[in-house]
Chain A
């Protein structure tokens, strides 16, 4: 089983014969070696774009150790806590694995940064980052997690750029996932009829609509009525 398969197996509890088997379910009797299916994406790609996505998905960038370290880091950046889901629940490491292939400019920073983490952890504690205690890990992060933003990003030390990129990718991966969007409580992307900012929100932010402006706006009760105008361009329906 290759590294990707093992990761997928952990996440999905193994995939056999195209059937997702949850970790707690008993294995089907005739289960063979789990076969990994490449995740399908269907969102209006041209054939050429679809092929390019499949190619990226079939390739592996991070090795197993790197992927484990990356996952540890994602979990430190956004851990699950109580009701709140974390970066690992949202499969953020897989997302970062995709992005590092999609945007190869990230590769030296991420790969180099992971090496730096092990080097630093080795120097300080004679341990690989993953083998260190959470307290030790955090003591290293404290040195790289607070950039001086008066210095342009490209001029900051690599390890600081690395951590900023990891934090960016972790947060964006989480908040663009189903779990993250739920937590953020984004309410759009669904058919609705916009009829202005709710009163309590206007009050909270100290603004209001003026009547003259509102009088020009669409009367949503008549949105289904065929538009007609008089000769001067005045809407009469």
Chain B
């Protein structure tokens, strides 16, 4: 049974000592909540946003029509459009951040139970053996202290618990798993397959966490509305609330949810061990304290770094876990750039329902060898297109493509209807998402001159791409143009040149930021050990993407989930052995 959040809003000032306090309820926090509560531990989950359940009609956006929004889905308020589920964005009123001059970073936060898992793309890729040991291959950055073989058993368990469709292809660095069967490609995806293969670029069924087949009795099977970014009312896609926290509550876990509660710092005792957290209740704007034997940070890479840096004490004068001065450093996001193409062979389409799952049915994992290239690491290719539901922006520049046929552009009157119909579904979009090289000098730190509306010192970002990333996105654009031409299409909008760093998106825009509390065996150069445990405080763990030594050209969520599970098992074992 789901309990409404307002029941959890009572002020906790009693002396309850939780076994574990988990800060954040996204992928990492959700998984920790499930594993730790099912081990019989008494758990507090502290979430900065409100309770959220996609099955609650008051919060639901799935299956709404564009005209149910007065702005027809425009992105004025929610950055991915009015129907997107994320409560938050790159800017949140009252919760600012700053940037060092000459550097850039965009910080996406989603304040709600389940965090960013409510609206993410559900692209669920395991890291491969090479991804954990990149330094061995190109001498750049650092290796992880663990390898694929350490994480594989947990990836397997995550596949089976949560459900991911895909196919076993036996690829060396894109491991097989326990997949549900993928959906058939859509029309534009068949064009992509044809176009990519012409250039020897491989294409495979995508790997995404939607249930194309039943996985248990608690979750529904995908009904192909294509709206996973709106969160699924039958729980057929993965989000931390619906797939981890609610089931953990249902199976009788001792879980107290504190929502609309923003953690300020981890409190510590005279020996430097964590004693709990202090948080601000957003409803009454007062500060409270919770006591716990173990603190698990899962607030997102940058939020967890912020909490640690703000947790200063005489034992940890530099911030908790920061004797190394590494907290906040090695911040890195995926590289990214996008291109669209007009494909004349996709004009004049008959309509039918091809919504499919929310996102692509096929994709291209990284396929080249770097020895022959002028940049390290790689990228995967995502694509979109098709007969989508109109929303704000549909019909803009309705007949610009007339220019390709020497016909007049613009005009007015009923000929516009024919143009709209003629070109509906004829555009394909390609996106590259690649691996950057983590840099010590790319970091977030506390800006001591400013606080948020809750009085908590805020983050200041320092981030610059290097030539490695810029050359990589140049390659993406060369590839995109080639594939679009292979499809008989025309790339749109001009190819970005050197003056714009080849169209590389701003760090943070891909929302794969990781690395701020990185993992390592040496406490001088890392923040957590291979169990995501702080070197400086044994009863504090970080289970978001902060511990990532390097962010592969994959999406981080599946690895966050696997590592959080692995760490949770370790916590249970360590508590049993009374080591923490």
- Interface residues of chain A, those whose CB is within 8 Å of chain B, are 39, 41-44, 46, 49, 52-53, 56-57, 76-79, 81, 84, 95, 98-99, 102-103, 141, 145-147, 149, 163-164, 167-168, 171-178, 180-181, 183-198, 200-202, 204-209, 213-214, 216-219, 222-227, 229, 233-235, 237
Contacts and interface: CB of A to CB of B under 8 A. Distances in A.
B76 interface: yes
Contacts of A208: 190
Interface string B402-423: 0100001111111011001100
B182 A41 contact: no
B392 A176 contact: yes
Contact of B349 (A168, A193, A201): A201
A167 B416 contact: yes
A196 B182 CA distance: 11
B221 A223 contact: yes
B61 A43 contact: yes
Most buried by A among B184, B193, B354, B421: B184
Given A41-B68, A194-B224, A227-B215, A187 B351 contact: yes
Given A77-B413, A164-B410, A207-B190, A188 B389 contact: yes
Contact of A39 (B70, B71, B176, B214): B70
B223 A193 contact: yes
8 contacts: A145-B412, A168-B395, A168-B396, A171-B416, A176-B391, A191-B223, A197-B184, A229-B178
A95 to B, nearest CB: 7
Nearest to B68: A43
Contact of B181 (A78, A205, A218): A218
A10 to B, nearest CB: 19
Contacts of A172: 72, 390, 392-396
B182 A216 contact: yes
By DSSP majority rule, is chain B's interface helix, strand, loop, or mixed? loop
**Closest A-B pairs by Cβ, 7 of them:** A171-B395, A191-B223, A196-B184, A218-B181, A176-B66, A188-B355, A176-B72
Given A39-B70, A194-B183, A219-B181, A175 B420 contact: yes
A44 B58 contact: yes
B70 A44 contact: no
B11 interface: no
B187 interface: yes
What is the interface residue range for chain B against chain A?
35 or more
Interface of B: 50, 58-61, 63-74, 76-77, 82-83, 87, 156, 160, 163, 165, 167-168, 176-187, 190-191, 193-194, 205, 212-216, 221, 223-227, 345-346, 349-357, 387-398, 400, 403, 408-414, 416-417, 420-421, 424
A112 B34 CA distance: 58
Q: Which of B70, B176, B345 has the most CB of A within 10 A?
A: B70
B340 to A, nearest CB: 16
B225 to A, nearest CB: 6
Contacts, number: 249
Given A141-B412, A191-B224, A207-B191, A102 B350 contact: no
Nearest to A98: B70
Nearest to B87: A46
B396 A78 contact: no
B17 to A, nearest CB: 34
B480 to A, nearest CB: 20
B226 A188 contact: yes
A141 B416 CA distance: 15
B225 A191 contact: yes
Nearest to B50: A46
Given A194-B184, A197-B187, 4 more contacts: A167-B410, A174-B395, A180-B390, A193-B224
Given A168-B397, A172-B394, A186-B387, A78 B416 contact: yes
Contact of A216 (B77, B181, B355, B394): B181
B491 to A, nearest CB: 16
Contact of B182 (A56, A141, A207, A218): A218
B74 A102 contact: yes
A161 B226 CA distance: 34
B184 A209 contact: yes
Nearest to A174: B395
